[in-house]
Structure 1
Amino acid sequence: MQRRDVLKLGLCTMAAMAAGWNGRAWSGGPVVPAGHAPVAGGVLDAAAWTAARQWTRTAFGRIAHVERGTGPAALFLHGFPLNGFQWRGALERLSAHRRCIAPDMLGLGFTEVAEGQGVTPADQVRMLAELLDRLGVDGVDLIANDSGGAVAQLFAVAHPQRVRSLLLTNCDAETDCPPPALKPVIDLAREDRFVAEWLAPWLADHALARSPQGLGGMTFTYPQHPTDEAIEMYLRPLVEHPRRTHAYAIGLDSNVLAGVEATLKRSRFPTRILWGTGDDIFSKDSPDYLAGVFGGSRGVRRVEGARLFWPEEFPELIAEEARRLWGV
């Protein structure tokens, strides 16, 4: 069997495990919320994002991050296999109201991980706490997607006094962590094959990356996404550092949220859940579960037909909901 055939088989398996996929034709046609047209990435392109990137030295390594704006801080947490570039549109739209900080997680993006440092969600929480300390930030408004949502929940449990508000998009919940769809990725990562068999082919062939068998068709709402520059920004550092990429995936192979429900029920910071209904990775039951867990819940807003990484495609929706949550 050719590597391309293995790739396609693995991706189809991932989709089937996620939602009982029945071979239906893929299409990128959601019902877009009024006034929220899809965008390619806002004002900040890859060159501008790269020029704005800073590194802060911590015990966990040199943490790459981009900042926009001043005032109270907002912290944007991405998932796998993306990095802070996912939030470029949201940062441009919210920097008038917050000091927006978008770091690259340990093991992903352009963060340089210290030798021997773990990259599990628990490690990410400790890293973020130190990063905020070094940046002189006490409290944050948290916005998160995908595995970054699991990290956000763990951060809220570990540091409730540092969280002013929480906006979660499609992500893990205690009842769905990790989602079954992630098993093929974790299994390949354990065999040191995930990068070579999935990510490298996508990086080499952007059309494949946007196809129904690629990152785009699996997790983005519209077939023109991710853009060429986004593919390069997301995948090149992961392909160039396969060991840490595999370590990140393997670190997701347990229910890292086990036992958090009781603590989250006692939370009082305002929490809003935004959920793309076209997501085949996370459980369809998770948004209502999450809305019922947080003590300060402001309910759920569903984005009809939108897939997992929709926050990149609809930054104005993120900005609208964040401003409402923040009262600005």
Structure 2
Amino acid sequence: MNEIELSAGTLQYVDSGTDGPVVVLLHGLLMDASLWDDVIADLSTDHRCIAPTLPLGAHRRPMSPDADLSLPGIAGLVAEFLDRLDLHDVVLVGNDTGGAVVQLVLRDGAKRVGRAVLASCEAFDNLPPGLTGKTLALSGKLSPGLFGAFMQQLRVRAVRRTPLAFGTLTKRGDAVTARWIRPVLEQPEIRAETVRMLRAVFADRNLLVETAPELAHFDKPALVVWASEDRVMPLDHGRRLAELLPQAQFAEVADSYTLMPLDQPAEFAGLIREFVRGRGASAEK
């Protein structure tokens, strides 16, 4: 695990260090860079894969007390991360809330982004997304102590597999989700920071509605990938995003919920590889 000191604090990240096009992969709420482990194992044979662990609740290094943990603040942190690593012509990939962050990076200019991939993510008015997102939004209103008590329930697999938690996000990734909740259970400072983050993330529920028209200004190649069985992110939102982006292609992944990097990593990696090669994942728009 690599570390870099940014204006908001220390960010940990995975870097395959291999040759090839640079692919930067962003995860969602209460997740870390391990979301991408299997995708990186596949893509890193011919790409340089970089996956930061963003301060979205499963991170292990607290941010500065004054860090902006709203979605625009996280997008600014990603832009700073790309600057500090001096990355160019990046393929920026986001799944779940990571896809919302990608949209905000594109809105703000995306000077270091050459291609974008939006994968089953919040969009338009789907903030908070589904029952899982609404549960997180409500739990973020609790004090850090009560939030910790609420999260203790997720130690039980049966609870993690409910629609209130990760049950409608992944079919096959329970072992990974069990690791993601450890920081908020074991580190009081992360628990308090996560409460602050959740309040900031859901403070402006019109954010992505207002961002959507700005996506039309991103005139570089884009790929929108959606899980055909997604129960949290409406499939229609994927098609609408592809229509907004001038050079977008659209593809569906079967037998997967929202977290395709866990449920269908080989197919997801293959779609990215073909997209980077310029062949496209699908001609469908």
RMSD: 2.0
Matched, 1:112 2:55: no
Aligned to 2:281: none
Structure 2 residue runs without a partner (length 5+): 279-285
Normalising by structure 2, we get a TM-score of 0.86
Normalising by structure 1, we get a TM-score of 0.76
Of 295, 309, 327 in structure 1, the residue corresponding to residue 259 of structure 2 is 309
- Contact 2:128-2:137 within 8 A present in 1 as well: no
Partner amino acid, structure 2, of 1:57: E
- Contact 2:29-2:56 within 8 A present in 1 as well: no
Shift of 1:175: 3.7
> Which range is displaced more, 277-286 or 175-184?
175-184
Matched, 1:93 2:50: no
Aligned to 1:218, the other structure's residue is in SS state coil
Q: Deviations over 1:228-252 (max 9, x none)?
A: xx23431111222211112222222
Partner amino acid, structure 1, of 2:194: T
Higher Rg = 1
Alpha-carbon separation, structure 1, partners of 2:149 and 2:107 = 36
Cα–Cα, structure 1 residues 111 and 151, in superposed 2: closer, same or farther, change >3 Å? farther
Structure 1 residue runs without a partner (length 5+): 1-52
- Contact 2:30-2:56 within 8 A present in 1 as well: no
Alpha-carbon separation, structure 2, partners of 1:159 and 1:103 = 20
Of 139, 146, 149 in structure 2, the residue corresponding to residue 196 of structure 1 is 149
Of 229, 247, 251 in structure 1, the residue corresponding to residue 200 of structure 2 is 251
- Contact 2:260-2:268 within 8 A present in 1 as well: no
Alpha-carbon separation, structure 1, partners of 2:147 and 2:255 = 28
Partner amino acid, structure 1, of 2:121: C
Matched, 1:121 2:68: no
Alpha-carbon separation, structure 1, partners of 2:268 and 2:225 = 8
Alpha-carbon separation, structure 1, partners of 2:167 and 2:14 = 28
Aligned to 1:147: 97
Q: How does 1:224-303 map to 2 (within 5 A)?
A: 225-227=173-175, 230-239=176-185, 240=187, 241-253=190-202, 254=204, 255-298=206-249, 300-303=250-253
Identity %: 22
Kindly report structure 1 stretches of 4+ aligned residues shifted beyond 6 Å. none
Alpha-carbon separation, structure 2, partners of 1:296 and 1:195 = 44
Partner amino acid, structure 1, of 2:153: P
Cα–Cα, structure 1 residues 215 and 191, in superposed 2: closer, same or farther, change >3 Å? closer
Matched, 1:84 2:33: yes
Cα–Cα, structure 1 residues 216 and 257, in superposed 2: closer, same or farther, change >3 Å? closer
Aligned to 1:318: 268
Alpha-carbon separation, structure 2, partners of 1:127 and 1:288 = 28
> Which range is displaced more, 236-245 or 53-62?
236-245
Which structure carries more relative contact order (alpha carbon 8 Å, separation 6+)? 1
Matched, 1:58 2:6: yes
- Contact 1:120-1:252 within 8 A present in 2 as well: yes
